[in-house]
Amino acid sequence: MQSFIIRKAELQDISSICNLVHELAVYEKEPEALKIGIKEYQEAFIEGLIDSIVAEYEGKVVGITVFYMTFSTWRGKCLYLEDFYVQPEYRKYGIGQKLFEAYLSEAKSRGAKLTRWQVLDWNEIALNFYHKNHAIIEKNWWNGKLFFNE
């Protein structure tokens, strides 16, 4: 495979990011849970609510990380990894590893004391990837959420 580029996302990448998030939702067996579109992504990106690093191959975005700053009252600044996805046909080329490393570098450059994300318990590929990267996968915390205006 020819070389790929890992770079910070730009506004013109939002359409590709939105499409890859949809692919991720399908992979996670929850496409109906995706309720927003490109406009909301653009607004969030412009407002600085979300940021992204993308993997590009031959001018096409084939992988993404979408993240934002949060705060842990126990640890301090935290960079939360909302979405991390590489299209299946581009896996096994090291793109995911390079994206993850770029994300970790971004977290450190922002002064984050930790990074967090969620991973589905059945996603063995992702779990193995995170274990390979020495991540702590917590099993004792449960997610809580409330939806508004549904």
List, by residue number, the catalytic residues: 130
The identity of residue 17, as a single letter, is I
Please say whether the dihedral angle defined by the alpha carbons of residues 145, 81, 19 and 95, taken in this order, is positive or negative: negative
Neighbours of 1 (CB within 10 A): 10
* Rounded CA separation 129/84 (Å): 12
The radius of gyration computed from the CA coordinates of the chain, to the nearest angstrom, equals 15
Nearest to 68 by CA among 53, 85, 54: 53
* Rounded CA separation 37/18 (Å): 7
